[in-house]
Amino acid sequence: MALHPLIENFRQAGQGQVFAFFDELTPEAQRHLLAEAAEFDLAEIARLTATLLAPGAVAGVNLAGLAPAPYEPLPTQGGDAAAWAAAKATGEAALRAGRVAAFTVAGGQGTRLGYDGPKGTFPVTPLKQKPLFQVFAEKIRAAGIRYGRPLHWFIMTSHQNHAATVTFFEERSYFGLDQGRVHFFRQGRMPAVDFSGRILLETKGTIALSPDGHGGSLRALERSGALDLMQREGIDTLSYFQVDNPLVRCVDPAFIGWHVLRGSQMSSKMVPKAYAEEKLGHFCTQDGHLVVVEYSDLPMAMQRETTADGQLRYLAGSIAIHVLDREFIRRVARGGAGIELPFHRADKKIPTVDAAGQPVKPEKANGVKFEMFVFDALPFAENPLVIETSRADDFSPVKNAEGVDSPQTCRDDQLRQFARWLRAQGARVETDPTGRPVAGLEVSPLFGYDEDSFAEAWKKHSPPPAVSDGLYLS
Ligand code: UTP
């Protein structure tokens, strides 16, 4: 019998092992394996093997000509208050005109948190235990009401968590959002390979596939038709954030306004690094481009460098909040003309099968996963822009089960934010020295989702509610 052309291609590319057990599979399992094998580009795998797996390929990034990137400081940090006010007004106008959509990348595997289920379903608020997705849904709904234009929300899932994510929204009636404006799509996958570039099987009939990184979101936006939908709806600006950060301003008018006024194609928020060793990427310039250099790639001596006034020289930390132009995304997604989002290698323990088809659970890294990072699009953007944000009002991710960036630290940061909003309105709130209220509190995003909207809602309350344990403002 003639060999299936795909199998022939794999053999010719030196990847015949993918079909080593093909004859043992049921016809349905064979179809499944062929479908998986058709998902990715063998030439791309060969290129990545040649560039990322060759001896000496892990030499690290090129640091020549690297310098700290400039950024727009907050008015409280010496920035131009009038320019920030103008940016905010511009952003609000864009929101009122329906030009902006929200975008959450939720395709990660969340291994560090170790939670069973899509990370967006993780309960995160201090009193009501609202899941991450609900926090964003309510912020997005409230912003739509505030600006008189309900927002579209794009959510990128993975093959692994797609069905569970959609079901979660369906079972909860989309948290009050218009279902027609919530759009789910899956990101792409890449096969894992061993250290010589041979694609690994997960079982006899499945390839070891994993999500292609948050940078895969740009390709997935194009491939899924999301960009066309945006175009039809008159949306030209996408507000990008990660699924693990409930503090994020999902659509921040000042940020959107800066992006629009500067004619930027991709803009990013920074926070000053809290200490030299903090694990954040660094905004830098190199050869006239804006780049992010990961903490693992910037030598510690450089991370510790200080300026004459004692401040960290590489101060601007990336918190993965961006605004992107629709047509810029399309250009990067299509690639060509010198534009290509690079893949990075991550050495991992990859469950696989041995030559006899028996399962192998490796004790140490046995192969490589390939991932793209969204910030690698920055060097291709015209007029890229970095603005400062206050960490307390934009960034407290849930990454780990315990310790830094954990559910506990995130709850505490939410509580501190609620306390600040209340105090700014003159409410009496008892706090500990870190600003965390002694009482348990929660503010629903539907009441207030930032300081301004909270202030407006508070002023409508007469008399204002007393702050006591268990206060839930909704
Ligand atoms: P992280 O880098 O924190 O990875 O993702 P992760 O997979 O969620 O968690 P770990 O490293 O396994 O513990 C940052 C953001 O990028 C998304 C995640 O869902 C999260 O919002 N992401 C990451 C994707 O959407 N796709 C990916 O392939 C990787």
Cα of 421 to ligand 1 centre, how many Å? 30
Strand partners, 243: none
User: 367-372 and 343-348: which strand pairing?
Assistant: antiparallel
pLDDT at res. 468 = 86
Helix 216-223 to helix 326-334 angle (10° resolution) is 100
Whether 59 maps to a domain, the answer reads: no
To test the pocket of ligand 1, the residue of 113, 209, 240, 243 to mutate (highest count of ligand atoms within 8 Å of its CB) is 243
Task: Please check whether residues 355 and 427 belong to one and the same domain.
Answer: no
Q: Give which of 244, 260, 199, 241 is closest to 389, Cα–Cα.
A: 241
Q: Which residues pair with 185 in a beta bridge?
A: 156
One-letter amino acid at 58 equals V
307, part of any domain? yes
The Cβ-side half-sphere exposure at 357, using a 13 Å CA radius, reads: 11
Coarse DSSP helix, strand, coil percentages of the chain, rounded to the nearest 5 percent: 35, 20, 45
Are 394 and 430 found together in one domain? Answer: no
Are 464 and 328 found together in one domain? Answer: no
| Helices then strands, each counted (H, E), the chain | 13, 20
What pLDDT is stored for residue 467 in this prediction?
A: 85
Q: Are residues 207 and 75 in the same domain?
A: yes
Q: What is the distance in A from the centroid of ligand 1 to the CA of 25?
A: 33
Going by C-alpha positions, the residue among 260, 156, 182, 196 that lies closest to residue 50 is 196
Question: Omega of the bond prior to 362 within 30 degrees of 0, cis?
Answer: no
Tell me if 60 is assigned to some domain. Answer: no
CA-106 nearest atom, ligand 1: 19
The angle at the Cα of 117, spanning 115 to 119, to the nearest 5 degrees, equals 70
In angstroms, what is the span from residue 157 Cα to ligand 1's centroid?
10
| Segments in 62-178 forming alpha helices (H) | 81-96, 132-147, 162-171
Q: What are phi and psi of 345, to 5 degrees?
A: -100, 140
Tokens of 112: 């560090």
Could you tell me if 144 and 223 lie in one domain?
yes
* Residue 2 pLDDT: 72
Q: Which atom of ligand 1 lies at the shortest distance from residue 107's CA?
A: 25
pLDDT at residue number 469: 87
Around ligand 1, the residues with Cβ closer than 6 Å are 105-112, 119, 156, 187, 211-214, 216, 242-244, 399
Q: Which atom of ligand 1 is nearest to the CA of 242?
A: 21
Residue 254 identity (one-letter amino acid)? A
- One domain, residues 358 and 453: no
pTM score, two decimals? 0.96
Residue 89: predicted pLDDT: 98
Structural domain includes residue 206: yes
For residues 363 and 413, membership in a common domain is answered with: no
Closest ligand 1 atom, residue 211 Cα: 28
Cα-to-chain-centroid distance, residue 253? 19
Atom of ligand 1 nearest to the CA of 244: 21
**Total domain count for the chain?**
3
Residue 136 lies in a domain: yes
Q: What is the pLDDT along the chain (474 residues), one digit of tens a residue?
A: 678 999 999 999 999 999 999 999 999 999 999 999 999 899 999 999 999 998 776 556 889 999 999 999 999 999 999 999 999 999 999 999 999 999 999 999 898 999 999 999 999 999 999 999 999 999 999 999 999 999 999 999 999 999 999 999 999 999 999 999 999 999 999 999 999 999 999 999 999 999 999 999 999 999 999 999 999 999 999 999 999 999 999 999 999 999 999 999 999 999 999 999 999 999 999 999 999 999 989 999 999 999 999 999 999 999 999 999 999 999 999 998 889 999 999 999 999 999 999 999 999 999 999 999 999 999 999 999 999 999 999 999 999 999 999 999 999 999 999 999 999 999 999 999 999 999 999 999 999 999 999 999 999 987 788 888 889 999
Residue 1's pLDDT is what? 60
Do both 106 and 241 map to the same domain? yes
58 lies in a domain?
A: no
Parent domain of 422: 400-474
Q: Is 62 contained in some domain?
A: no
The residue nearest atom 28 of ligand 1, judged by CA position, is 213
Domain edge (last residue) among 378, 398, 418: 398
* Residue that finishes a domain, picked among 398, 427, 452: 398
Best residue among 103, 104, 109, 165 to mutate for probing ligand 1, ranked by most atoms within 8 Å of CB: 109
**Closest Cα to residue 71, out of 255, 247, 324?**
255
| Domain co-membership, 37 together with 72 | no
Confirm whether 438 is domain-assigned. Answer: yes
Probe residue for ligand 1, chosen from 214, 321, 375 as the CB with the greatest number of ligand atoms within 8 Å: 214
For residues 155 and 289, membership in a common domain is answered with yes
Q: What is the CATH number of the domain that holds 318?
A: 3.90.550.10
Residues 114, 116, 121, 122, Cα dihedral to 10°: -40
Residue 73 sits in the same domain as residue 132: yes
Do 417 and 288 lie in one domain? The reply is no
Write down which residue in 339, 371, 398 finishes a domain.
398
Structure-derived torsion over alpha carbons of residues 193, 113, 297, 156, reported in degrees to the nearest 10: 70
